[in-house]
Amino acid sequence: MSCSTFNLGGGSLKFCSINKGSQIKNHLRFFNGFVPNGRCNLVSNSAMSFSVGSLSFSSLPPPDFQFHNRSRFSSHVINCSTFNSEASISSNKANDERVIVLVIGGGGREHALCYALQRSPSCDAVFCAPGNAGISSSGNATCIPELDINDSAAVISFCRKWNVGLVVIGPEAPLVAGLANDLVKAGIATFGPSSEAAALEGSKNFMKRLCDKYGIPTAKYQSFTDPSAAKQYIQEQGAPIVIKADGLAAGKGVIVATTLEEAYEAVDAMLVKGAFGSAGGRVIVEEYLEGEEASFFALVDGENAIPLESAQDHKRVGDGDTGPNTGGMGAYSPAPIITRELQSIIMESIILPTVKGMAEEGCRFVGVLFAGLMIEKKSGLPKLIEYNVRFGDPECQVLMIRLESDLAKVLMATCRGELSGVSLDWSPGSSMVVVMASKGYPGAYEKGTVIRNVEEAELVAPSVKVFHAGTSFDSEGNFIAVGGRVLGVAAKGKNIEEARDRTYRAVEEIRWSGGFYRKDIGWRALEKQFSLK
């Protein structure tokens, strides 16, 4: 690897060429995170041009120069325009206000957020901590793997050093731990609820009690810490029945038991064997609702709420919605089941009462409310299954590739309590994402398997975008799998059929012997579309 370095005030710019066989991989690298006064765009292929503040650098590429990511960089080089990193982000609401953003997290959801923020006209630069190999190589954000996101003081120090004006917290764990509390106390605008408000996801018992108090429709339930009492209640109610760990369990703490024996085993796994640690110290035993699940998202500024476009994910690991629950094996947007009429019902009966109830309980909610809903078969009406207090994964991916509004500006309005009157623009048609996971997921899986042809997949259609969740680099610069859910291959289309076709054609381009994916993502939407023809 050969590199050239330019010292630029508070940081330095490094351009590196990594020799890999006959191919040269070229990466723009930033020491200390990013060029302090620069913003990168792509222009012509005649020369390298870097303009940073009042300084500019140019050089002709070597004769055998090839860009690593051909889908984004062929016939282009990098041109850096300027912004003033020394100026702090003011609190005025001028239309030309610009902001530097830090995204907390390192999964597919965070990659999608970085992708949307990088396209935001009001966003000057995007950091992601810790990020992942795909986020850094895509150019969607500058990754800061060394920043400890569990250390509030370190995050605050980083924000002050780099004049970060907005922090977007992706995962639920830092929210429940109180990162947003500390950032807001330090005067840093933060998209994400306080630890008190994050209890909506951190404790299903808290959420259920809120529903009881404020008349929010949800499934009948009881909570238990004693396994014998839980089993007695299960016997009285009968199967099928749902057993949930009270706390955070990475999307895996829900067992839909079809028999009493399965339900008893789930109770023992959580309360006796500690399968989910402290998250399973209390269980919620809930009635089984028959119908269709849907994901509903709303931005909330403490008092006001506006809905996002609808989405629907596939939780079960296997085709035909079979096998154990996962964090999500794919999603699509919009969800045909969420009509405009139903959206209004959801806002009036579930979202707005929750926002009001949280404020009355002394824990105003600021961020995104993600309601997991069941649209009951017998009534056609929604019931709340659970709340998440962050964007869903993989739903975030299908929403962000459809979003046409300035995400940074909208999130700042949310943080300031200024959502009233805000509207969002979305691309027409549909979007879909298919998750590629390591074989064995959601159980034990192998790490370190090589993934090839990711760049080729993005050439299938202009709308294809591959979001990375669990990837890293090996010593030769290849992508390798280091997680359960590894890639999210997404695409847009004029309808669900076209989005599905483009997505699966891109999936089939990727060469990864250690992975698998569902082949029927979107089947409910397709079934509805065909039934209307």
Give pLDDT tens digits for 330-358.
Answer: 999 999 999 999 999 999 999 999 999 99
Tell me the average pLDDT across 167-191.
96
Q: How many CB atoms lie within 10 A of CB 142?
A: 24
Cβ neighbours for 46, distance < 8 A, ≥ 6 positions apart? 60, 77
CA atoms within 13 A on the CB side of 37: 15
Tell me the average pLDDT across 367-389.
94
Amino acid residing at 335? A
C-alpha distance from residue 326 to each of 133, 394, 407 (Å): 23, 11, 28
Instruction: State the pLDDT at residue 250.
Output: 66
Instruction: State the pLDDT at residue 202.
Output: 87
Judge whether residue 245 has pLDDT over 50. Answer: yes
DSSP string, 282-325: SEEEEEPPPEEEEEEEEEEESS-EEE---BEE--EEETTTEEEE
- Residue range 398-457, pLDDT digits in tens: 999 999 999 999 999 999 999 998 999 999 999 999 999 999 999 999 999 999 999 999
490 vs 469: CA distance, rounded Å? 13
63 vs 69: CA distance, rounded Å? 18
Q: How confident is the model at residue 64 (pLDDT cuts 50, 70, 90)?
A: very low
Closest CA to 328 of 521, 490, 497, 470: 521
Position with higher pLDDT, 12 vs 171: 171
Q: Worst-scoring range by mean pLDDT, 43-52, 116-125, 522-531?
A: 43-52
Tokens of 452: 């090839």
Instruction: State the pLDDT at residue 248.
Output: 78
Tell me the average pLDDT across 469-493.
97
Position with higher pLDDT, 82 vs 195: 195
Instruction: State the pLDDT at residue 34.
Output: 40
356 vs 377: CA distance, rounded Å? 28
Judge whether residue 11 has pLDDT over 80. Answer: no
Q: How confident is the model at residue 373 (pLDDT cuts 50, 70, 90)?
A: very high
Judge whether residue 7 has pLDDT over 90. Answer: no
- Among residues of the chain, what percentage have pLDDT more than 90? 72
Instruction: State the pLDDT at residue 251.
Output: 63
Tell me the average pLDDT across 29-41.
37
399 vs 231: CA distance, rounded Å? 40
Q: How confident is the model at residue 276 (pLDDT cuts 50, 70, 90)?
A: confident
415 vs 394: CA distance, rounded Å? 24
405 vs 419: CA distance, rounded Å? 14
Residues 379, 381, 385, CA angle at the centre, nearest 5°? 115
pTM over 0.75? The answer is yes
DSSP string, 440-498: TTTS------EEB-HHHHTTS-TT-EEEESSEEE-TTS-EEE-SSEEEEEEEEESSHHH
Position with higher pLDDT, 127 vs 326: 127
Domains and CATH numbers, the chain: 97-190 (3.40.50.20), 219-287 (3.30.1490.20), 289-424 (3.30.470.20), 427-532 (3.90.600.10)
DSSP structural state of residue 89: P
**Number of helices and strands in the chain (H, E):** 17, 31
Cβ neighbours for 277, distance < 8 A, ≥ 6 positions apart? none
Q: How confident is the model at residue 95 (pLDDT cuts 50, 70, 90)?
A: low
Instruction: State the pLDDT at residue 29.
Output: 36
Q: Please provide the size of the chain in residues.
A: 533
DSSP structural state of residue 347: I
- Residue range 284-295, pLDDT digits in tens: 999 999 998 888
Instruction: State the pLDDT at residue 6.
Output: 40
28 vs 34: CA distance, rounded Å? 10
Q: How confident is the model at residue 210 (pLDDT cuts 50, 70, 90)?
A: very high
Q: Are strands 515-516 and 471-473 parallel, antiparallel or unpaired?
A: unpaired
Instruction: State the pLDDT at residue 170.
Output: 96
Cβ neighbours for 186, distance < 8 A, ≥ 6 positions apart? 156, 159
C-alpha distance from residue 420 to each of 9, 64, 233, 269 (Å): 41, 54, 45, 46
Judge whether residue 73 has pLDDT over 60. Answer: no
Q: Are strands 430-438 and 330-333 parallel, antiparallel or unpaired?
A: antiparallel
Judge whether residue 87 has pLDDT over 80. Answer: no
Is there a contact between 447 and 438 (Cβ–Cβ < 8 Å)? Answer: yes
Cβ neighbours for 84, distance < 8 A, ≥ 6 positions apart? 37
Looking at every residue in the chain, the average pLDDT score rounds to 84
Judge whether residue 162 has pLDDT over 50. Answer: yes
Instruction: State the pLDDT at residue 320.
Output: 92
378 SS3 class: coil
- Among residues of the chain, what percentage have pLDDT more than 70? 80
Closest CA to 83 of 48, 142, 14, 34: 34
Position with higher pLDDT, 2 vs 393: 393
Tokens of 317: 């690991």
- Exposed/middle/buried for residue 243 (C-beta within 10 Å: 0-12, 13-18, 19+): buried
Instruction: State the pLDDT at residue 195.
Output: 95
- Exposed/middle/buried for residue 325 (C-beta within 10 Å: 0-12, 13-18, 19+): middle
**Residue 7 CA, distance from chain mean position:** 35
Instruction: State the pLDDT at residue 528.
Output: 65
Instruction: State the pLDDT at residue 275.
Output: 82
527 SS3 class: helix
